[in-house]
Amino acid sequence: MMAWIVRRLEILGLFCALVACSSGSSTPSTNNGPNPSSTTVTLKLKGGPLYDTPVTLSHSITNGGPTGVIRTLLTNHGGQALFEALPGSGQLCVYSSMLVGGTLFKTSHCAQPFPATYTLNYGPHVP
């Protein structure tokens, strides 16, 4: 009986860890205005910028990852990636992921129209 309880707790812990590994947000399409011609995305972890980390601009996020990829850039020393020549209309999404100790952490944001500047934060669950 004790082994059964321990096994169930292990499975519950694994499930909770998987749920905690993904963070993100989405802004519903309430405004069909035009997208800016460019956007600066700042990638942060615990308030500090992340250097040399990929950020992907896409049309949507499906199954936890970007779809309809437009381009992927690496962040600079300030944690920023500048995406230029954005599509004039439609939803845009930014996505980033990192592998830490064998665990994949993800963060994303979608909006229509997409803002000219946006800070994409990894949640507090990332070590």
- The predicted-structure confidence for 71-107, as pLDDT tens digits, reads as follows 999 999 999 999 999 999 999 999 999 999 999 999 9
Per residue in 38-81, pLDDT tens?
A: 999 999 999 999 999 999 999 999 999 999 999 999 999 999 99
Q: Residue 29: pLDDT above 70? A: no
Question: 22-122 belongs to which CATH class?
Answer: mainly beta
Listed by start position, the domains of the chain span: 22-122
Query: For position 33, what pLDDT does the model report?
Result: 86
What is the rounded CA–CA span in Å between residue 84 and residue 90? 15
DSSP state of 22: B
CA distances from 97 to 3, 32, 34, 40, 102 (A): 35, 28, 28, 18, 12
CB atoms < 10 A from the CB of 60, how many? 17
Query: For position 32, what pLDDT does the model report?
Result: 78
CB atoms < 10 A from the CB of 40, how many? 16
What is the rounded CA–CA span in Å between residue 52 and residue 105? 16
Query: For position 25, what pLDDT does the model report?
Result: 52
